Amino acid sequence: MNGVSPPPIPPEPPPLAETIAYVRGLGKPTAAEVLRAARDAGRVALQPRCGVGSHSQMTTLLRDLERHARPDILTLTIDSHTRLRRFDNARAVLLRNPAELNGYPLVTHGWPRGRELNEAVSVPLEVRHGSPDARRLFETSVASGITSFEGGGISYNLPYSKAVPLSESLAAWRDVDALCGELAERGLTIDRELFGTLTAVLVPPSISLAISVLEAVASTREGVRCVSVAYPQGGHFEQDVAALRAIPVLAARYLPEEVEVHAVLHEFMGLFPKERSHAEDLILYGALLARLGGATKLITKTYLEAYGIPDTRANIDGLLLASRANSPLLDFISFDEDRVGAELEWVLEEVAEIVEPVLEAPDLYEGIESAFERGRLDIPFSASRYARSAIIPRRAPDGAIRYLESGALPFSERTLRRNRESLADRGDPSDMGAMVKGLTSDINHFLNIFGEGAGAPTRPDPEVVEQYRHT
């Protein structure tokens, strides 16, 4: 068993009253309190991605990141077996070789070990995973005293799973949100972060935000009091700033006034440059975008993204670099506010056209399911048979992401015309060869900017390659 002592079979979760008392006695803020403080101070809170299978190594990783990079929130990224509720598989791999797991199997380790992780650091933790049915994982997370939980019935199903019906994932996440509501009534607010990143590839801002609006409305109807809306950096500065600024506007329009809402930016999740200097330029660029867009929190990247899972040192360096965007010396930075205003008007109009017909349905969950069946809701490049994926996004000449094809989305003629005009030089969508070539170039957006795209000579930084070999 590779010298790994088997984790004990976890006991049943304690009563909620005991868990709430435990969180209050931890002596550290909840995720919702950290986010509120960051927003009130006008600074961007920072959070890395991290997760390994071994409990001792996970503990060390969290401590090292806190000691050397001072993040505001730390992450437990969950392994794929747990995400799919294959708990026996997770335990078998953990016993055989924890390094084979692509994250921390929290359910297998159990909530007592989750509390050990919580007590190892002074900042709150968030669970990130990708599960269409996260009920057992959420129960374990709550019992561990973890105060932030990512996901939703749409965003953690359609981008990841092929054959999970929306009705099942929506029902499972309704239970998660209902438990959040019960905790809120008892005085413990769980930050519910929504994964607007979706497939992370050329996601039009209005699709990202529309899905998050629907998940946010569903969660707040179940009693959720703190919602973080995550948006993926697309690559066009003014469009991305406008998308982040749209989040509080949409919250005011569609959510109860008493709900706290935070904008979260995921640094670019597409193909990352290999050269360390280029990767670090992109990391700083994303951090500045978060600041200027008014994001409460930034999910950071590292210079090893192009090579695989980053090591601890790269994660530390990525956090420290991103933290420079909070410097008061950068107040002089400005951009085209008129262009941002135009993009904001555009995205708000598109979101309204997508979500308002769904929100009019007598039953929201049935309305969401029906809209996806008819293509009135959709996401690009989905793995799921329950999404049509009829949307074809393309970059306009300025780099903004538009709709080359919008499928059956309920867009007005004005919206369709604006997208057509923006992409007038992008050719005929029926020319499959040209379209695939164009999409590939669009996906390689930042590689092309740095001269690392197809046909460009690639000379990875020897230091980066050497470090990656030792991860």
DSSP assignment of 31-62: HHHHHHHHHHHT--EEE-----S-HHHHHHHH
Neighbouring residues of 278: CB distance < 8 A, sequence distance ≥ 6 = 446, 450, 452
Strand partners, 148: 126, 191
What is the rounded end-to-end Cα distance, in angstroms, of the chain?
22
Residue 401 parent element (H or E): strand 401-406
Q: Are 217 and 364 in contact (CB under 8 A)?
A: yes
Residue 47 phi, psi (nearest 5): -145, 130
Strand partners, 191: 148, 226
| Amino acid making up residue 149 | F
Q: Which of 126, 150, 275, 343 is catalytic?
A: 150
Residue 251 phi, psi (nearest 5): -60, -45
Q: Which of 36, 39, 49, 83 is catalytic?
A: 83
Helix (H, G, I), strand (E, B) or coil at 232: strand
Q: Name the residue among 114, 104, 108 with its Cα closest to residue 51.
A: 104
What six digits make up the tokens of 398? 């300025």
Neighbouring residues of 112: CB distance < 8 A, sequence distance ≥ 6 = 10, 11
Known catalytic residue: 83? yes
Q: What is the torsion angle, in degrees rounded to the nearest 10, for the CA atoms of residue 248, residue 253, residue 256 and residue 262?
A: -10
Task: Give the residue numbers annotated as catalytic, written as ranges.
Answer: 83, 150
